[in-house]
Amino acid sequence: MSRMCELHIQSVADRVKDICHTLCTPARIEHMLGVESLARKLVPRTEVPDETIRLLSWGHDMFRDLSGSRLLAMARHYGIDVNETEETYPTLLHGKVAANYLVFCYDIDDEVRKAIHWHVTGSTEMGELGELLLIADMGEEGRPFEAASRIRLKAFVDKKKTVLDVLRSKMLWSLRENRPLQSEIVLCWNNYLRRDLSDAD
Ligand SMILES: [Fe+2]
Ligand SMILES: [Fe+2]
């Protein structure tokens, strides 16, 4: 990555942090700090620089505390194809809205965009940064449930298998809460499971 590119990401990440401090709750800020801390530990600096980790960690939930009506309005503004489940539960749109906002305002890198865009459901398109964000989002230190600590530990051993654990956890939550499963998460689960099974052959 060029120095100019790093400087661009750094200034965008700083700006996004400022926005988060005006739009997000204190608990959300704590969560973002937790995501940043775990994501930093999971990959070496030579693979993913600090400023990219910072942008992922703060950008993914920058709009998580906005109202549903505001998220729907922003989704329509950016021409996002809102599905029936997102129409009913607009909070699910916060990743897609943030990714579109960051591209529109700051022309962010496509790998960062995909990671933020897909962090709610996962996707076969999310890439390695998407896997990192998915894991750090679920496994960060502030998450109080048992599955999070298992995810946190396993991520240091095998990221691909940990992605499956994160998806399982997300789907079980939806089932317990009587929420619909989004097609993206099912497709992502099937794809990662198939890869895991073929690796085991
Ligand atoms: Fe999120
Ligand atoms: Fe999050």
Quote the pLDDT of residue 14.
Answer: 94
From the list 167, 157, 166, the residue with the least C-alpha distance to 190 is 167
173 Cα: distance to centroid of ligand 1 (angstroms): 15
Position 21 pLDDT exceeds 90: yes
151 Cα: distance to centroid of ligand 1 (angstroms): 17
Domains (range + CATH), the chain: 3-200 (1.10.3210.10)
93 Cα: distance to centroid of ligand 1 (angstroms): 9
Written as six digits, the tokens of 39 are 């994501």
Between CA 187 and CA 185, with CA 41 as vertex, the angle to 5 degrees is 10
60 Cα: distance to centroid of ligand 1 (angstroms): 6
Which ligand has the shortest distance to the CA of 33?
2
How far is Cα 56 from Cα 145, in angstroms, rounded to an integer?
23
50 Cα: distance to centroid of ligand 2 (angstroms): 18
Written as six digits, the tokens of 58 are 């703060």
Position 69 pLDDT exceeds 70: yes
61 Cα: distance to centroid of ligand 2 (angstroms): 5
Helical H segments across 60-176, by residue range = 68-77, 84-88, 94-106, 110-117, 127-139, 146-154, 159-176
Which ligand has the shortest distance to the CA of 64?
1
6 Cα: distance to centroid of ligand 1 (angstroms): 24
119 Cα: distance to centroid of ligand 1 (angstroms): 6
Position 5 pLDDT exceeds 80: no
Quote the pLDDT of residue 196.
Answer: 87
pLDDT tens digits for range 34-46: 999 999 999 999 9
Which ligand has the shortest distance to the CA of 35?
2
Quote the pLDDT of residue 4.
Answer: 53
pLDDT tens digits for range 75-88: 999 999 999 999 99
201 Cα: distance to centroid of ligand 1 (angstroms): 34
113 Cα: distance to centroid of ligand 1 (angstroms): 14
